[in-house]
């Protein structure tokens, strides 16, 4: 009960901040608002800040920045969902900056010593002032005490950031559950799954050992990729709240002029960004999910170097197959094939006609072919795709949320390097290679080998399976299946807990609705 009231309180604070920035019930929509919402807008004193001359999406971004780290992360996810917030707001949220003032060097030094259990001067001969500060952590340049010293980046978590995020994520989850109880559209969009994805992502970011492990795993998976590199982790100077990793001397890809001055072709770099992302996603099912300009460099050998591994994405084999088949179908303009893949995966209910869905996909795909990236709005394309899935009752797939977010970012990075960039042509070699490897003869041989192995396991377990089958048949013949008394007690206890939790959730939802209703009067 107390947690529910705390969630309502934090949400109410967010409502007031959004209203102050005129981002909750924007004045641009005043003419279509019902009288009750117009009254609520006046009650909340909407639009009494310095943001009056800004567009609605920019005002929303400003509000999220003022609400703090969790809302910044939420805004970054919403930037990939034009189906939820609309094209203009989605574009504005892409400019949301995850930058905060740095915390003190004294606090950073104390955090390093506390986490690593050693005096700072036994770890580093030099620790600079912060070179970057974001919502979760800040980064310092340093040199280690070895001879010769190694130049490293030291990432330190913000003091108290875990508790702050936990409170806001709890409020998000509360609001999402309430929304799904009240709205069929919220259930279709699976807003609770979106919050779960955000929570899982943030939890990983809060433990810098997980980021170190992600960097290590990505380095192993891409070790044979000659055009991509991951900096090495210093595990002896890494803990839950401190990460030490190799310092990267490279040209930032945000500066096309600097790339050219260093002898790199920005158009080639654009292709590298897209192809490495797709290779990681399709081949490995494990990809860097924060590939914006600030996290990508080009080294002296022309390799793409990524930093900041706090947000990583995973896609299981079945989802990778679905993604590759879908992209391959679009590349070959075989829309019926794309439709069939959606139906085979169970993403589109069988109550809809396959050919009708294929026709809808054609309406999305055909306009983009033969046109340069300059002429194609990815936000508008995504909007069409989401409109199509909504029309055919396709539910959001949580695994694809980070993939979609990263795809939008990666395409934007590539376009900034090459205004005429064609993401489809850049993607084609990676997708075709994956299809040959996973749908061609090699895939059939692997499947045959897997089948033989499965038959071997079945043969090993056959005596146990026969014994279990005999036991079950005897129990059925003598009055039915019997459960151990302790098992029955556990089942009853779990059922009672489930019922109790449902009652509590309903009670809290009713209370929240009452408070919201009072706010509307």
Question: Domain map of the chain by residue range?
Answer: 2-99, 100-133+136-247, 250-439, 484-521
Phi, psi of 314 (to 5 degrees): -130, 140
d(CA 279, CA 304): 13
Give the 3-state secondary structure of residue 157: strand
Catalytic residues: 290
d(CA 184, CA 98): 32
Radius of gyration (C-alpha) of the chain in whole angstroms: 26
Two structure tokens written together for 361: 């996909």
Contact 142, 245 (CB under 8 A): no
Tracing tokens 């046109």 back to the chain, one arrives at: 371
d(CA 309, CA 476): 55
Whether the CA torsion 357, 360, 364, 369 is positive or negative: it is positive
- Which stretch of DSSP H or E encloses residue 329? helix 317-331
Contact 24, 46 (CB under 8 A): yes
Contact 476, 148 (CB under 8 A): no
Two structure tokens written together for 382: 């995504």
d(CA 27, CA 39): 13
pLDDT of the chain, 521 residues: tens digit per residue: 676 777 888 888 888 888 888 877 777 777 777 787 777 777 776 666 666 678 888 888 888 888 887 888 888 777 766 666 777 787 788 777 677 789 999 999 999 999 999 999 999 999 999 999 888 899 999 999 999 999 999 999 999 888 888 888 888 888 888 888 888 877 877 788 878 877 887 888 889 999 999 999 999 999 999 999 999 999 999 999 999 999 998 999 988 899 999 999 999 999 999 999 999 998 999 999 989 888 999 999 999 999 999 888 888 888 888 888 887 787 788 999 989 998 988 888 889 999 999 999 898 888 877 666 566 655 466 567 667 777 888 776 766 767 877 887 888 899 889 988 887 788 888 888 887 877 655 555 554 555 555 555 555 555 554 555 555 455 445 544 444 444 445 444 544 444 444 343 333 333 443 333 333 33
CA atoms within 13 A on the CB side of 344: 13
Closest among 156, 159, 170, 138 to 70, alpha carbons compared: 170
For residues 180, 397, 199, 51, the Cα torsion angle rounded to the nearest 10 degrees is -70
Two structure tokens written together for 282: 């399709």
Closest among 13, 104, 87, 97 to 62, alpha carbons compared: 97
């Amino acid at each position: 009960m107390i947690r529910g009231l705390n969630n309502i309180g934090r949400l109410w604070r967010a409502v007031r901040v959004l209203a102050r920035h005129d981002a909750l019930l924007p004045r641009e929509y005043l003419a279509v608002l019902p009288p009750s919402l117009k009254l609520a807008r006046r009650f909340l004193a909407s639009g009494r800040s310095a943001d009056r001359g800004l567009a609605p999406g920019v005002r929303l971004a400003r509000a999220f920045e003022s609400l703090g780290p969790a809302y910044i992360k939420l805004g970054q996810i919403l930037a990939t969902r034009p189906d939820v917030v609309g094209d203009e707001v989605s574009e504005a949220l892409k400019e949301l900056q995850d930058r905060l003032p740095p915390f003190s060097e004294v606090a950073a030094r104390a955090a390093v010593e506390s986490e690593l259990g050693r005096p700072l001067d036994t770890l580093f001969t030099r620790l600079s002032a912060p070179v970057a500060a974001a919502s979760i952590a800040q980064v310092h340049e340093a040199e280690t005490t070895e001879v010769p010293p190694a130049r490293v980046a030291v990432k330190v978590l913000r003091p108290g950031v875990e508790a702050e995020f936990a409170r806001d994520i709890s409020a998000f989850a509360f609001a999402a559950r309430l929304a799904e109880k009240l709205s069929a559209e919220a259930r279709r969009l699976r807003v609770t799954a979106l919050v779960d994805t955000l929570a899982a992502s943030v939890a990983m970011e809060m433990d810098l050992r997980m980021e170190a492990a992600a960097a290590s795993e990505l380095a192993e998976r891409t070790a044979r990729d000659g055009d991509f590199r991951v900096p090495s982790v210093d595990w002896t100077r890494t803990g839950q709240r401190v990460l030490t990793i190799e310092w990267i001397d490279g040209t930032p890809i945000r500066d096309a002029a600097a790339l050219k001055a260093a002898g790199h072709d920005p158009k080639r770099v654009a292709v590298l960004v897209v192809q490495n992302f797709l290779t990681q996603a399709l081949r490995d099912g494990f990809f860097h999910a924060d590939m914006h300009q600030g996290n990508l460099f080009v080294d002296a050998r022309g390799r793409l170097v990524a930093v900041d591994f706090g947000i990583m994405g995973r896609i299981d084999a079945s989802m990778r197959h679905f993604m590759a088949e879908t992209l391959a179908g679009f590349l070959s303009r075989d829309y019926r094939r794309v439709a069939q893949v959606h139906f085979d995966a169970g993403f589109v209910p069988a109550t809809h006609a396959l050919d009708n869905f294929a026709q809808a996909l054609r309406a999305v795909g055909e306009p983009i072919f033969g046109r340069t990236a300059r002429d194609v709005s990815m936000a508008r394309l995504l909007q069409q795709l989401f409109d199509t899935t909504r029309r055919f009752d396709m539910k959001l797939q949580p695994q694809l949320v980070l993939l979609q977010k990263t795809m939008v970012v990666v395409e934007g990075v590539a376009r900034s390097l090459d205004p005429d960039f064609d993401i489809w042509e850049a993607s084609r070699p990676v997708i075709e290679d994956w299809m040959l490897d996973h749908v061609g003869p090699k895939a059939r041989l692997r499947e045959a080998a897997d089948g033989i192995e499965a038959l071997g396991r079945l043969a090993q377990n056959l005596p146990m399976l026969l014994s279990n089958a005999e036991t079950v048949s005897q129990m059925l013949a003598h009055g039915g299946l019997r459960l151990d008394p302790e098992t029955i007690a556990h089942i009853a206890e779990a059922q009672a807990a489930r019922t109790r939790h449902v009652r509590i959730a309903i009670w809290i939802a009713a209370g929240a609705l009452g408070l919201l209703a009072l706010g509307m009067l």
